[in-house]
């Protein structure tokens, strides 16, 4: 089997290798001349031979519209384009309709696995028609992990990216829970070895997971995380999950809170917390730190402050 793959970054490059390891011939294109197998998209499509030709797009959301417009002119009846990037699910039906004008099929595939996918395989959530899925099935079988799980035909066009969006929203909530637990453990004088506590949770507990294993790995490299700034970006899918919850009237408090926590991480000095501190000072006489004062009350002061604050409130 032969296919095209556009975008050979951290995930795309590893996907190309995993596919080749499975015996699938991959013609990759990337703007980096050190990575690409084709001079341009026309050259890539030309190397694929006769229809049905399959081209997998693994690009940032901003680059997808232009790429699909170009592929529409290069491909034809019976060919299939797969968008495997983190595209917004609401874009999928318009993308499919655009390509359908030339008889080109479209699949949206949510892909999870990160930099470990080459070794472990990629979890794939696929949206599109059964006919188009059948054409690409050998590709999915090569990319997915070994065993019965890690692949699902989730539904029609848009279902794959919607499922991946919800997956990432859940991921936000789990990561935030581990992070808050870590901070609480490090704040407690009763616990001497926080990394060892996390390590012990890897077996016999209901919270063991791959994310927990990655927490342990990070702490092994930097036990107190001293070399990491507390700043976290979001890929966009957490925001889309919250928006979908609003649109469908489905409450998502944990996912929403985890997204907002990432926003807080980007503020050097939260404007909102300035006013909270000012109000606490006004009603309870609680200490207010100056702009250049970084010290915090010790644990005993904070515990005492809670009782005093409640009395004064």
Q: Is 164 considered catalytic here?
A: yes
Which domains does the chain possess?
2-156 (3.40.50.720), 165-265 (1.10.1040.10), 278-312 (no CATH)
How much is the pLDDT for 265?
A: 85
E strands present in the chain:
2-6, 25-29, 54-57, 80-83, 105-112, 123-127, 151-155
How much is the pLDDT for 122?
A: 97
- Yes or no: say if 89 and 162 are a contact pair by the CB < 8 Å rule: yes
Contacts of 296 (CB under 8 A, 6+ apart): 289
Q: Which residues of the chain have pLDDT under 70?
A: 291-313
Annotated catalytic residue: which of 2, 97, 141, 171? 171
- Give this prediction's pTM: 0.86
> Rounded distance, CA 217 to CA 228, Å?
14
> Rounded distance, CA 22 to CA 64, Å?
27
- Yes or no: say if 98 and 69 are a contact pair by the CB < 8 Å rule: yes
How much is the pLDDT for 292?
A: 61
Annotated catalytic residue: which of 119, 164, 208, 291? 164
How much is the pLDDT for 299?
A: 36
User: What pLDDT digit, counting tens, does each position of 145-199 carry?
Assistant: 999 999 999 999 999 999 999 999 999 999 999 999 999 999 999 999 999 999 9
How much is the pLDDT for 294?
A: 55
How much is the pLDDT for 305?
A: 40
- Yes or no: say if 87 and 108 are a contact pair by the CB < 8 Å rule: yes
HSE, side-chain direction, 13 A CA sphere, residue 190: 3
Q: Is 171 considered catalytic here?
A: yes
């Amino acid at each position: 089997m032969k296919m095209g793959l556009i975008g050979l970054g951290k995930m795309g490059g590893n996907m190309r290798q995993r596919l080749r390891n499975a015996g699938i011939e991959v013609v990759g294109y990337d703007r980096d001349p050190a990575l690409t197998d084709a001079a341009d998209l026309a050259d890539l499509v030309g190397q694929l031979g006769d229809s049905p030709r399959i081209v997998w797009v693994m690009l940032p959301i901003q680059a997808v519209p232009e790429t699909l417009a170009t592929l529409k002119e290069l491909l034809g009846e019976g060919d299939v384009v797969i968008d495997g990037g983190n595209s917004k699910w609401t874009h999928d039906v318009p993308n499919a309709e655009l390509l359908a004008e030339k008889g080109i099929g479209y699949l949206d595939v949510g892909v999870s696995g990160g930099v470990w996918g080459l070794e472990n395989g990629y979890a794939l959530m696929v949206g599109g028609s059964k006919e188009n899925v059948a054409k690409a099935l050998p590709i999915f079988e090569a990319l997915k992990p070994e065993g019965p799980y890690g692949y699902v035909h989730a539904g029609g066009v848009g279902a794959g990216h919607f499922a991946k969006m919800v997956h990432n929203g859940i991921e936000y909530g789990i990561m935030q829970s581990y992070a808050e637990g870590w901070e609480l453990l490090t704040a407690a004088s009763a616990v001497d070895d926080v990394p060892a506590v996390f390590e012990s949770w890897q077996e016999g507990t209901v919270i063991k997971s791959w994310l927990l294993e990655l927490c342990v790995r990070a702490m092994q490299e930097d036990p107190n995380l001293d070399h990491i700034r507390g700043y976290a970006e979001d890929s966009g899918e957490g925001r889309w999950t919250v928006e979908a919850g609003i649109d469908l009237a489905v409450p998502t408090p944990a996912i929403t809170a985890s997204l907002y926590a990432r926003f807080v991480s980007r503020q050097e000095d939260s404007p909102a917390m300035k006013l909270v501190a000012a109000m606490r000072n006004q009603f309870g006489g609680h200490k207010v730190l100056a702009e250049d004062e970084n010290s915090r009350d010790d644990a005993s002061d904070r515990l005492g402050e809670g009782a005093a604050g409640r009395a004064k409130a």
